[in-house]
Chain A
Amino acid sequence: MKNHHDIVPYDGPPEPIPDTEPEEVPAFLPEPTEDRKVQPDETAALARVKDDPVILIRGLWKSFQEHEVLRGIDLHVKKGENVVILGKSGTGKSVLIKCLVGLEWPDAGTIDIFGRDIATLSYSEMNALRLRVGFLFQNAALYDSMTVRENLAFPLRQHKKSLSKEKKEALINEMLGDVGLLDSIDLLPSRLSGGQMKRIGLARTLILRPEIMLYDEPTTGLDTGTAHEISDLICRVKKKYNISSITITHDMPCARITADRIILLKDGIVYAEGSYADLETSEDDWIRSFFY
């Protein structure tokens, strides 16, 4: 475990891969399929790619007028890893993940996703990246004039035009099956409970098969049982689709169930980092105050 008292405050993310050596570290390698076996010389590169961070944030600053929310955040997320970000209200957790998808723009610092600095992307490149990054909003943000089916069909209609109607319908049914809400397919969002809305929001995001998921307080406002179900769902989704994710939460049971690594934000900086068990037994009172 690392925190600002004992080991180091935070040793920062790994060094980014220089663009000048693409032959040694390819940015993206196609996944091996039955038709295409991994070549021997690719094996080492593939192994290294798996260790490379899919999200790399360095020195991120963001302020709103005079109020500095983020003050030099360094953070990385590896492939298949779920990083939970904890912190008191107003420490900029949601702002941080909104910066990742271009809903907010940082004042300084760089955000690399899949090895590309998002500040250098054009509008269409940013949209291409957004297709690979899913975002579950705190209130699910379902389109309230559309039924559940239409909510799920909407992104498909926009991005998967080549899919036949039957395949789209099958995909919608599969996603609703995954979140256990197949029987709500024709309901309007106003007829759903908070937990159901979050599940549908997750299904709508997953239908585009993102490689990264950003969860903004997925269990806030839910009863203990439903919050537990959502946390389990996050784990199942991660396992099934091998998704890397960042989860913003105040809910410690959710953090315990879903986190591979926890990052604690305080006053706009990364205050401590470690596993749930490490942080729970920290000597720092402020860190332990989250757990008890």
Chain B
Amino acid sequence: MQPILNRYRRTRLRVQVKKSRLKAYLYKAGDLTAFMLRFFREVFRPPYEWRETFYQCYLVGYKSAFLISLTAFIMGAVLTIQSRPSMAAFGAISLIPGMVAVSVVREIGPVITAIICCGKVGSRMGAELGSMRVTEQIDAMEVSAINPYHYLVVPRTVATTLMIPLLTIIADMVAFLGAWLAMNIHDTSTMRHFFQAAMAHLEFMDIFPAVIKTFFFGFVIGIIGCFKGFRASRGTESVGIAANSAVVTASLAVFIIDMLSAQITDLL
């Protein structure tokens, strides 16, 4: 009888642990949702922190532009070099600009930009706000009757929401440039001809959903980075955890949004 009881107790304990984990997970998901929804209430509420917003735009946009351009250039070149043999086998080398354009504009440009920003911007926000939480700077704002959400989260999230679409456009253009240079390794193509051929294959429905989804990418990167920093617990270790989980969660969110957007675009 005793072994059966023990097994029963162990199973019950295991269920309890799983239940409490589920509860904790649901609580966190609810907390993140409430944090996100709060943004829409705070963003239209004066005073508007223009100075902080412009500064964050500078940090997110200007400071990330080189890294994103370099990555996009390499991606464009690699895409052209690797697809060339297959395209040549079908005698479809003239379709390379169109193939590169569609894949870069619809998928590679937005996703690469978002993932780089997850690592560069999301982790910075997580670590910065986490550090402010640990050193009680956020508490100091609160006790000075300054709304820390309004001052810290809104400008950062607005900046990522506005800058990531711009960075994506830059990344697309630079990827075309990389593809054109790679094209000229084996073939000869003028820049004008390459860009004309690329644009000829792009339709409104290639560009529009891709641009729209980058706003969502920007929003989730900003809000998740800030959320993880804001919810950092006391202790220096939590700053690292906040930065790390900001990158992981935001990257996952980017891929989920990308998948949803692909499904929605497919239905249109």
Contact = CB atoms under 8 A, between A and B. Distances in A.
B137 A133 contact: no
A221 B228 CA distance: 30
Most chain-A Cβ atoms within 10 A of its Cβ — which of B135, B136, B142, B144?
Answer: B144
Query: For chain B, what secondary structure do more than half of its interface residues adopt (helix, strand, loop), or is it mixed?
Result: loop
A287 B47 CA distance: 51
Most chain-A Cβ atoms within 10 A of its Cβ — which of B137, B142, B146?
Answer: B137
Contact of B144 (A102, A139, A158, A161): A158
A30 B262 CA distance: 65
A103 B139 contact: yes
B37 interface: no
Nearest to B138: A141
B137 A144 contact: yes
B149 to A, nearest CB: 11
B34 interface: no
Interface residues of A, number: 25
Contacts of B143: 101, 103, 130, 133-135
A135 B146 CA distance: 13
A281 interface: no
A224 interface: no
Interface in A109-136: 127-128, 130-131, 133-135
A130 B135 contact: no
A130 B144 contact: yes
A144 B145 CA distance: 19
A144 B135 CA distance: 10
B140 interface: yes
A127 B150 CA distance: 14
Contacts of A204: 144
Contacts of B136: 137-139, 141
A140 to B, nearest CB: 9
Contacts of A154: 146
A159 B139 CA distance: 17
B137 A141 contact: yes
A291 interface: no
Contacts of B140: 135, 137, 141-143
Contact of B139 (A131, A134, A137, A208): A137
Contact of A131 (B142, B145, B147): B145
Interface of B: 47, 135-137, 139-140, 142-147
Interface of A: 101-103, 127-128, 130-131, 133-135, 137-139, 141-144, 154-155, 158-159, 161, 204-205, 208
30 contacts: A101-B142, A102-B142, A103-B139, A103-B143, A128-B145, A130-B142, A130-B143, A130-B145, A131-B144, A133-B143, A134-B143, A135-B143, A137-B136, A137-B139, A137-B140, A139-B135, A139-B136, A141-B139, A143-B137, A143-B140, A144-B137, A154-B146, A158-B47, A158-B145, A158-B146, A159-B144, A159-B145, A159-B146, A161-B47, A205-B144
